[in-house]
Every structure is written in C-alpha cells, then in structure tokens.
Amino acid sequence: MSKIRFTAINQTFNRKPLKIDSIAKRSEIFAKKVFDQEKMRNYLSKTALKTVLSAIEKGKKIDREIAEHIAAGMKNWAIENGATHYTHWFQPLTGATAEKHDSFFELNPDGSFLEKFSGSQLVQQEPDASSFPNGGIRNTFEARGYTAWDPSSPAFIYGTTLCIPTVFVSYTGEALDIKTPLLRSLNALDEAATAVSKYFHRDVNKVIATLGWEQEYFLVDAALYKSRPDLIMTGRTLIGHAPARGQQLDDHYFGSISERVMAFMRDLEIESLKLGIPVKTRHNEVAPNQFELAPVFEEANLAVDHNSLLMDIMKKIARKHNFEVLLHEKPFAGINGSGKHNNWSMMTNTGINLLSPGKTPMKNLEFLVFFINTIKAVNDNEALLRASIASAGNDHRLGANEAPPAIISVFIGEQLTKALQELKNVSNGKLSPQEKTDLKLNVVGKIPEILLDNTDRNRTSPFAFTGNRFEFRAVGSSANTGNPMTILNMIVAKQLQDFKKEVDIIIEKDNLKKDEAIFNVLREYIKQSERILFEGDGYSKAWEKEAVKRGLSNTKNTPEALKIYKDTKVKALFETTGVLNKRELGAKYEVELEQYTMKVLIEAGVLSDLTMNHVIPAAIKYQQELVKVVKGLKDIDTKTYKTLAQEPLRILNEISENISKVSELVRKLRMALNQLEKDDLETKAEKLATKIKPEFDQIRQYTDQLEMMIDDEIWPLTKYREMLFIR
C-alpha cells in the first residue's frame, strides 16, 4: 500500500473521542459570547441602548457621538471576555465569510499605550479588499469598498476576536456582498407584507422573514482527508469506486464511529450555543458519515449570519476532533449528496406567523392571502429561484434522482389543493350571502383542521408547504443561504405589492367589500399559478416531461440557470424592489459565473494530475508485477505457460486498454482547457458545463475500473470504503 494511504489509515485506528465537558445548562452558556440586548443593558447608557434598539427595529441612523458610547461599551464587554482584536465580519459575493483583524492595542506617541476602539472604527472600516471579486464595480468607479456596521445582527466574540457583522459596499454605495441585497429584500418584504397584513390587523407595523435552516454535512477522518488531493483541492472526490456497501450502512458500522462523532457534535453544540446559535443537534444517517444540524428558526438576516458562522465553526471544531467537514453538495459519487433545507415564513411584530392558519375564519383568510401570494411569486419567478441555488457543486445534486429536481415546483398537500380548487370557483364580483357562508364554513373555516393531517410531506419537492412555513429544499449545503433568501423575499415582496394594488383598485372601483375583493383576486391567482403546483414524484422522468408541457424551466447547469439575470424583466424586478440596481445585478452575475468557472477549472486540473501522477503510475507498477509473474511462469515451463498465464495476461491487457483510454481522454481534456483561454467568461463557462465537465465522468469511468483491477496494496488513493467506514 502506498505510504501515504497506509499511514493515513493507520492513524485512524488510534483515534479516541475527545473528552467534552457536558453542558451544565443551556441557559448558562447560551449567547455568552454575544453582545446581545442583555449585555447592552449592562454596558451601554440608556440613550445608547435606545439608539441601538431603534436602529435594529426601525433602521434608524446612529449619530457619531452615540456611536462612540456604543463602541466603548462594546469594547469593555469584549475585553472583559477575553477579546484582544476586533474585526468587521462580512460576506463577499463568493459566499464565504471574510474578516480583517485589528488589535485594540494602540501605542501613544509618548510610548504609553491604551486599548482603543472608537465609534468610527465600529461604524465603518476600509478593508484591503481589492482581492474580493466585485464583478467590475470597483474597477470602473471607485477603487475601494468599505464595510459598515449592521446593528441588526449582534456582535460576537469568536476565539479572541470581537466580530462585528457588516455590509460590504463600494464608495458609490453599491453592494459588493450578500448581506446588502438581503437586507434590502427584507426591507421590501417588510413594507409589502405590513401593508397587506393591515387588512387584517391594524396594529401590525413590521413584518420579518423567519428562517430555520437544516445543514447537512459529511465527516471524514482528517488523516484520510489529507491523503486525498481531490478532497483538499475541490471539496469532493473526483475519482473513486463506490463501495459495495454504499448507502445500506448497518447500525453496527455506524455505532463504531458514533462515539467520536458524538463528541464532535457535543463540542459543536456548546460552541454554537455560546455564539447564540440556537442549535438542536441531530444526526440522521442517510448516507454513511452524513449528518445534519438544525437550529430553531430566527429572523432571516440573523439566521443567515448564523449559518455562515456555523459553517466556519464546524470546520474548526472538526479539526480539533481530527475530522474534516465536507460541506460540498456531492463529495462522493453514488452516495447521497448534502443540501440545506430552508424553512421560511413571515412574522408580524405582534407575533403572528402569516403562513400559519388559526382559529378564526379571518385568520385563515389572512393565511390564504400569504400562502397563495407566495405560490404565485414562485410560479412567476421559478427560473429566478432556480438561479438562486445554482452552483458548480449543486449541479451534481439537482435532478440526480436523490435530491430535488432542477425544476422548481410547489407541494401543498391534498387538503390545501382541495381548498384552492374550491376557491377557484368563487364567482366574479360580489358574492351572494349563501356563497359567503359556504366559503366561511367549507374553506376558511376548515383550514386548521386540514392542516393537522397535512403530514404527508413530499420529500421529492423542492419547495414544500409544511404546515406553517414553506421549506425550500433545493439549496446547496455549501451555499451562503443569503442568496436564495434574498430572491425569495424579493419575489414575495413584489407579489404582495401587486396584490395590494389589485385589491385596493377593486374595492374602490367595483365597490366590493374587502374580503370579497380579496377572494376575487385570489381566485385569479390560483388559476394563474396552477402549473407550479405538483404533488407527485419529483424525481420521476414523467415529471420532467410534464414540466416541459407546463412551460417550467429545467436548466441542468449553472451557466444556463444564471442567464436569467440578464432578462430585462428580471433586471426591472431587482430594480423596482430596490434589491439590486442593474450594475449590481451585472456584478452578481459575473461573480457567480466566475466562481463556477474557477471551480470547474480547478477540478479539471486536479483530475488530470491525479490520473497522470497517481492512477497511471500505479497501474503501470501493477503491470510490471504481472509481467514478472508471466515471465516466471515461462521460466518454469515454456510450453504450457500460455495457459497458466492466461489470467495475468488478460488483466495486463485490460489494464493497458484502460490506461490508454485514460491518457487519451486526459490529453483531450488538457487540450480543451488550453483552448478556453481565448474565450470570454460566458463562453468559457458554457463550454465547461456542456463539453468539459461531462469528460470528467468519462475519465472517472476508466480510473474506477482500474481501481477495481489493481492490487489493493499498490493503489495510492484512500478508497471510499476506507473514508466512509473507518473509525
């Protein structure tokens, strides 16, 4: 066995679970490292506290003087809790998180020193961020961008650093990150949803989006991970034969790893809780070594920050336990991939979940309004929602018979389907007293009951209603979920704006009562949105055909999906909702396309190196052994050796065939890559998706054949069964 593989596997045998302090009380550690309202009360003056709270709730500006007070309070709390540095923490368009650490420590000209953190250092920073992709925005206008404090997400201490959540914008105020458009979309949704919910409650003056994500991931032993250049470089295995045992892992195997994994999970839980992430850990073993972690839902901006932070914490804690976390959507071929389900709803400042039915017909009418408007928004913007989850990694997952298809559809369950059918028959204009009674009794009156048994959740649906929220399941496990959430908030905001306008016009013009007008508009929406509703098996071929008939898009790769950002109507949608102007959207498109291109290019490079430097040399080595065997047999008996050497000769031959196939394909791949250099970004991305990526699978087919033929002792790369099953 190759030395690297041998050492790696050997190391895993000596692993012991780390001892973790058991959690005394959740309440004692929860948000211990977060500068939340409770700490603010202790460290800020009354005026400063009031200002921060109104900045959080109403987006009010914080003036200089108050910022100084807040910074001082924050610094005192941070230093008392072990922080030595501070950083503006932000999420560039690449989706990762970024930070630049500065020390509190400052030297005076006279040699004395102090620990300093001023209001302006809190409010605004200028990171040396020229290396962050910006889609050309800063190049054409101003050379620099800056980060600005987002008070709606509380500061926290990570390690010994005070992290201040910020937006990252150019000097012209244009978005260079994921948070800025997210905040704008939340604003748009707030305005639109508040206006609509005022039909039902006058006291509502703010609506927030709520998000509860479920994060899937794989764990691999750190030593084994390090023995796989493809995992290190690309986050997934580019070659490797699926083990005979694949998905049907028995509990026995799982049991043997669980002690170490449990220690990791407990540690992760403690750290997350301290940072204010309200996790409730779980481990569901769909695939071997695959797990899931989900928190209780929170306000969407905070939930997005918490998910980004969690992905980082996971990596750090995993290393402590000699694991590597794989967040890639498809780290292993032939084994389930990972996603990030996004449970989404809207909630009023008075605590009402707008997607939750209630006890009164009026509450249920309100539910129907938000429910149907969301469905219509998805119907009208399905291609855009598809684009929001597009990435090189997720391309492996979507439509791969195990994950939501690349076709967006909405699942609502049998009972709600029936309710919508009845609503569809509401008559035009004024409703008769009889019809009103019927609606009250049979539709809006019945909803709470029907939802009780709305448990037949269709796991194949990418966008499913699950009782009091929608669950967007097609998001990739490694994605910054701010991106899909921005699009979802935006399309629902726009839809609710339109709805309000239509209802108001009908009330005015046709002199209808409010609920009559609402029923009239909803009726039309249901008719217009029928094509997006699908209750069947989303993984089936039949659905693909049916979806074409319904005019739903089914874009199979990222470059194709992202094209929707160039659509005139889409540009207008982003602009009118205030989420992104044309230039910002153009930058977003370009950066996402660049990211895709870069990732696939890296994969191509790693794959060709792996095959030429690892696979083929191993194959040749084994051939040499076989040649020795054949020669030996010939030495014994020149007459009959051909019969004796039949099998070694056959294997020799087969290996030769596979080697030539692999080298030929890799040569072709390298040539194709060279030719890309002259192409523009769009052409490059398209060629990578349609011509070059399919070649990967071809190459893999032959290398995986070789893996099965070559002596296990010689094979250089850690195998699937070793990575997935060894403790």
Q: Which positions lie near Mg ion, rule CB under 5 A?
A: 341
The nearest distance, CB 343 to ligand ADP, in angstroms, is 3
Interaction partner, residue 180 (Mg ion, ligand ADP, none; CB < 5-8 Å by kind): none
The nearest distance, CB 346 to ligand ADP, in angstroms, is 8
The nearest distance, CB 11 to Mg ion, in angstroms, is 36
The reply to whether 212 sits near ligand ADP by the rule CB under 6 A is yes
Q: Which residue is nearest to ligand ADP (CB)?
A: 212
Q: Using an 8 Å Cβ cutoff, are 429 and 519 in contact?
A: no
Interaction partner, residue 296 (ligand ADP, Mg ion, none; CB < 5-8 Å by kind): ligand ADP
Q: Using an 8 Å Cβ cutoff, are 450 and 416 in contact?
A: yes
Which of 138, 306 has the CB closer to ligand ADP? 306
Interaction partner, residue 294 (Mg ion, ligand ADP, none; CB < 5-8 Å by kind): ligand ADP
Which of 336, 718 has the CB closer to ligand ADP? 336
Q: How far apart are CA 638 and CA 632, in angstroms?
A: 10
Interaction partner, residue 630 (Mg ion, ligand ADP, none; CB < 5-8 Å by kind): none
* Separation in Å, CA 652 to CA 347, 362, 475, 623, 665: 67, 77, 46, 6, 20
Return phi, psi of residue 395, to 5°: -60, -30
Which of 76, 281 has the CB closer to ligand ADP? 281
Strand 156-158 and strand 290-295: pairing? Answer: unpaired
CB burial of residue 80 (10 Å; 0-12, 13-18, 19+)? exposed
Q: How far apart are CA 503 and CA 429, in angstroms?
A: 12
Q: Using an 8 Å Cβ cutoff, are 335 and 287 in contact?
A: yes
Fill in the amino acid letter for 358: G
* Separation in Å, CA 62 to CA 65, 148, 187, 489: 8, 12, 18, 26
The nearest distance, CB 481 to ligand ADP, in angstroms, is 12
Which of 343, 364 has the CB closer to ligand ADP? 343
Interaction partner, residue 468 (Mg ion, ligand ADP, none; CB < 5-8 Å by kind): ligand ADP
Look up residue 546 and give its two tokens: 């049916």
Return phi, psi of residue 497, to 5°: -60, -50
Number of residues written out for the chain: 727
The nearest distance, CB 208 to Mg ion, in angstroms, is 21
Q: Can you list the positions of beta strands (E) in 296-355?
A: 298-299, 323-326, 340-348
Which of 155, 303 has the CB closer to ligand ADP? 303
The nearest distance, CB 500 to ligand ADP, in angstroms, is 22
Closest CA to 513 of 143, 199, 59: 199
Sole binder of ligand ADP in the list 43, 217, 344, 370 (CB under 6 A): 344
Give the per-residue contact string, 463-502, with ligand ADP (x = CB under 6 A; - = no): -----xx---------------------------------
The nearest distance, CB 245 to ligand ADP, in angstroms, is 26
Residue 586 CA, chain-centre distance (Å), reads: 22
Which of 341, 588 has the CB closer to Mg ion? 341
Sole binder of ligand ADP in the list 121, 345, 374, 460 (CB under 6 A): 345
* DSSP bridge partners of 101: 87
The nearest distance, CB 543 to ligand ADP, in angstroms, is 22
Interaction partner, residue 344 (ligand ADP, Mg ion, none; CB < 5-8 Å by kind): ligand ADP
For 300, half-sphere exposure in the C-beta direction (CA atoms, 13 angstrom radius) is 33
Strand 463-465 and strand 410-411: pairing? Answer: parallel
Instruction: Tell me the window of 57-65, 342-350, 579-587, 640-648 that interacts with ligand ADP (CB under 6 A).
Output: 342-350
The nearest distance, CB 309 to Mg ion, in angstroms, is 21
Token pair 């060629």 is found at 687
Q: How far apart are CA 342 and CA 294, in angstroms?
A: 10
Sole binder of ligand ADP in the list 99, 214, 216, 382 (CB under 6 A): 214
Q: Using an 8 Å Cβ cutoff, are 344 and 471 in contact?
A: yes
Neighbours of 126 (CB within 10 A): 12
Interaction partner, residue 700 (ligand ADP, Mg ion, none; CB < 5-8 Å by kind): none
The nearest distance, CB 370 to Mg ion, in angstroms, is 20
Q: How far apart are CA 417 and CA 424, in angstroms?
A: 11
The reply to whether 210 sits near ligand ADP by the rule CB under 6 A is yes
Look up residue 274 and give its two tokens: 């301290």
DSSP-derived 3-state class of residue 295: strand
* DSSP bridge partners of 298: 211
Look up residue 669 and give its two tokens: 């791949």
Sole binder of ligand ADP in the list 84, 353, 458, 701 (CB under 6 A): 353
Which of 352, 387 has the CB closer to ligand ADP? 352
150 to 209, contacts with ligand ADP by CB under 6 A? none
Interaction partner, residue 353 (Mg ion, ligand ADP, none; CB < 5-8 Å by kind): ligand ADP
Interaction partner, residue 379 (ligand ADP, Mg ion, none; CB < 5-8 Å by kind): none
Which of 66, 294 has the CB closer to ligand ADP? 294
Which of 145, 413 has the CB closer to Mg ion? 413
The reply to whether 363 sits near ligand ADP by the rule CB under 6 A is no
Closest CA to 218 of 92, 65, 382, 335: 335
Q: How far apart are CA 274 and CA 268, in angstroms?
A: 10
The nearest distance, CB 214 to ligand ADP, in angstroms, is 5
Q: How far apart are CA 198 and CA 187, in angstroms?
A: 17
Instruction: Tell me the window of 6-14, 222-230, 340-348, 375-383 that interacts with ligand ADP (CB under 6 A).
Output: 340-348
The nearest distance, CB 195 to Mg ion, in angstroms, is 31
* Separation in Å, CA 52 to CA 125, 276, 435: 19, 19, 51
The nearest distance, CB 216 to Mg ion, in angstroms, is 10
The reply to whether 523 sits near ligand ADP by the rule CB under 6 A is no
Residue 234 CA, chain-centre distance (Å), reads: 17
One DSSP character per residue, 437-495 reads: HHIIIIIITTHHHHHHTTT---TT-SEEE-SSSEEE---BTTS-THHHHHHHHHHHHHH
261 to 300, contacts with ligand ADP by CB under 6 A? 294-297
The nearest distance, CB 363 to ligand ADP, in angstroms, is 15
Question: With contacts defined by CB under 6 A, how many residues of the chain interact with ligand ADP?
Answer: 15
Interaction partner, residue 107 (ligand ADP, Mg ion, none; CB < 5-8 Å by kind): none
Residues within the interface to ligand ADP (CB under 6 A): 210-212, 214, 294-297, 341, 343-345, 353, 468-469
